[in-house]
């Protein structure tokens, strides 16, 4: 699954239904002469766009005269225009209750409710407006917007389609922004072919990065990976932003095109050197390409910038564990992370592994053993920690201790070919030939499963990058 870019929804009409408002009288709640003059001045200020002057006066008057519909509407609109939609809703609700036939008040109420995340109320308002005036495209589009906000994508797609029908009846055409939102609704409701057709028929889409990204996602979901790559490439060219570059690189990762992904993420990191997202992408691309020494560096860069990033620490650990060189830049960072997070069994394991990976004459085996013991204290079922401890004990000719550790390893993970091989060596040294032969047979049995497991772990890494971003 590829991460779809965030396309802001737009109400393709007025965000508030502007209307000139005038003070009105109400039986039993008439304005005093002084307040009539004050209301007139406040409304004039509002109609001229002077919110700073109008808002406090309108709010005070609306609170004093709750049955004055126009004052309730004006106070609500002034609050909404200033960005305080939560405060605006009660005034607009009161005005709507007093005059349900006023579509402008209802529309403003729906917008304020939607912007204050009261989406259920907003959907009720816009649904009613659509029933009352089905020939107004603005109402259908407003309904579609709130349905998108509520993740009702199939309903939103239907609302966009009705809005488009209204526009076509008046010889108007849906603009590109509307098409992008409509295509997003189609894509998220499981209709990628319709989403693709909708944007492919628009010449403007060739110059729109969001449109190209949606087209790429649509092609990917319909299995047309080559076309998907073309659209992602064009999207990144049109908008070389961090999210767009990531989207293109991530598409390469999905299909294990690691060489291409490396080049894309390298470009992204050069353009956005502080981007942890792109650094992670580069590290994963190197890791997938088996360039483990190079993979460690971007993971280290993320960990140095965000010392609490457990995922970066784990991926750095995996890289250091798999690296061929005995000295890999960045692996020493793991020890500091492990010390700061003693509860993280994997961190201690990888820190120990990075030490044991060093040249024999320079590695601190006592430190490595201490880290492995910390790892097993945090998680006694961690097969890899038992394995590393067993290997370390073999390097010291501690064959009894090694056999016990490796037995724990294969107990926790029976399909662990390396542990079975090491255990066979321990049994040979201990004079247990029959057991040694049995372990060799198990090592051979599980060798292919180990390859499959490595592929699974690689897919986990790529899936992580997609899911988290």
Domains and CATH numbers, the chain: 1-117 (1.25.40.10), 130-239 (1.25.40.10)
Place of tokens 């320079």: 362
Q: In this predicted structure, what is the pLDDT of residue 189? A: 96
Query: Which has more pLDDT, 179 or 335?
Result: 179
**Six token digits for residue 420:** 């079975």
Please check whether residue 130 is in contact with residue 165, taking contact to mean a CB–CB distance below 8 angstroms.
Answer: no
Q: How confident is the model at residue 119 (pLDDT cuts 50, 70, 90)?
A: very high
pLDDT tens-digit map of 385-422:
999 999 999 999 999 999 999 999 999 999 999 999 99
Q: How many helices (H) and strands (E) does the chain have?
A: 24, 0
Q: Label residues 187-224 b or e (16+ Cβ within 10 Å = b).
A: bbbebbebbbebbbebeebeebbbbbbbbbbbbbbeeb
CA 201 remoteness from chain centre: 29
How many C-beta atoms lie closer than 10 Å to residue 66's C-beta? Answer: 14
How far CA 50 is from CA of 14, 46, 54, 61, 321, in Å, comes to 19, 5, 6, 17, 65
Q: In this predicted structure, what is the pLDDT of residue 201? A: 85
What CA–CA distance (Å, rounded) separates 127 from 158? Answer: 13
What CA–CA distance (Å, rounded) separates 442 from 128? Answer: 69
Mean pLDDT, range 8-37, rounded to an integer: 56
Q: What residues have CB less than 8 Å from 357, skipping those under 6 apart?
A: 320, 321, 323, 326, 328, 331, 363
How many C-beta atoms lie closer than 10 Å to residue 24's C-beta? Answer: 14
Residue 343 backbone dihedrals phi, psi, to 5 degrees: -80, -10
Q: In this predicted structure, what is the pLDDT of residue 27? A: 46
pLDDT tens-digit map of 121-147:
999 999 999 999 999 999 999 999 999
What CA–CA distance (Å, rounded) separates 202 from 111? Answer: 29
Q: Is the pLDDT of residue 454 over 70?
A: no
Describe the crossing of helices 209-221 and 176-188 by its angle, rounded to 10 degrees.
Answer: 30
Q: In this predicted structure, what is the pLDDT of residue 449? A: 67
pTM: 0.63
DSSP string computed for 136-170: -HHHHHHHHHHHHHTT-HHHHHHHHHHHHHHHHHT
Q: Output Rg (C-alpha) for the chain, integer angstroms.
A: 32
Q: In this predicted structure, what is the pLDDT of residue 2? A: 28
Query: Which has more pLDDT, 344 or 137?
Result: 137
Least reliable range by pLDDT among 1-10, 236-245, 314-323:
1-10
By the 10 Å C-beta count (0-12 exposed, 13-18 middle, 19+ buried), 413 is classed as middle
Please check whether residue 76 is in contact with residue 44, taking contact to mean a CB–CB distance below 8 angstroms.
Answer: no
**Six token digits for residue 414:** 């029976």
């Amino acid at each position: 699954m590829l991460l779809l870019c965030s396309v802001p929804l737009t109400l393709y009409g007025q965000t508030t239904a502007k209307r000139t408002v005038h003070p009105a009288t109400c039986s039993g709640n008439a304005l005093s002469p002084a307040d009539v003059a004050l209301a007139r001045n406040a409304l004039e200020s509002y109609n001229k766009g002077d919110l700073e002057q109008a808002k406090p006066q309108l709010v005070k008057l609306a609170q004093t005269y709750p049955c004055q519909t126009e004052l309730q509407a004006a106070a609500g609109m002034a609050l909404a225009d200033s960005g305080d939609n939560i405060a605006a809703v009660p005034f607009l609700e009161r005005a709507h209750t007093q005059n349900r036939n006023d579509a402008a008040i209802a529309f403003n109420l729906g917008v304020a409710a939607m912007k204050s995340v009261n989406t259920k109320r907003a959907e009720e308002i816009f649904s009613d407006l659509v029933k009352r005036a089905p020939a107004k495209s603005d109402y259908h589009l407003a309904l579609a917007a709130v349905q998108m906000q509520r993740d009702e994508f199939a309903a939103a797609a239907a609302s966009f389609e009705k809005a488009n029908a209204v526009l076509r009846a008046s010889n108007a055409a849906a603009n590109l922004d509307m098409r992008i939102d409509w295509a997003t609704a189609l894509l998220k409701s499981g209709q990628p072919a319709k989403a693709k057709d909708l944007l492919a028929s628009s010449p403007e889409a060739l110059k729109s990065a969001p449109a190209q990204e949606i087209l790429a996602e649509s092609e990917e979901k319909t299995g047309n990976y080559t076309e998907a790559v073309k659209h992602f490439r064009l999207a990144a060219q049109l908008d070389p932003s961090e999210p767009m570059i990531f989207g293109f690189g991530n598409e390469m990762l999905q299909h294990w095109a690691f060489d291409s992904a490396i080049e894309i993420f390298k470009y992204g990191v050069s353009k956005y050197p502080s981007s942890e997202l792109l650094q992670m992408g580069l590290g994963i691309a190197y890791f997938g390409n088996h360039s483990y020494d190079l993979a460690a560096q971007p993971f280290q860069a993320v960990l140095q910038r965000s010392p609490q990033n457990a995922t970066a620490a784990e991926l750095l650990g995996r890289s250091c564990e798999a690296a061929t060189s005995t000295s890999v830049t960045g692996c020493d960072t793991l020890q500091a992370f492990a010390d700061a997070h003693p509860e993280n069994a994997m961190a201690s394991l990888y820190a120990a592994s990075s030490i044991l990976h060093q040249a024999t004459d320079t590695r601190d085996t006592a430190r490595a053993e201490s880290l492995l013991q910390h790892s097993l204290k945090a998680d006694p079922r961690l097969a890899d920690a038992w394995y590393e401890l067993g290997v370390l004990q073999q390097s010291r000719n501690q064959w009894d201790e090694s056999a016990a550790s490796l037995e724990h390893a294969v107990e926790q993970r029976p399909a662990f070919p390396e542990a079975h091989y090491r255990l066979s060596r321990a049994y040979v040294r201990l004079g247990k030939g029959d057991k040694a032969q049995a372990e060799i047979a198990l090592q051979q049995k599980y060798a292919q499963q180990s390859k499959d497991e490595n592929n699974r772990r690689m897919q986990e890494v790529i899936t992580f990058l997609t899911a988290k971003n």
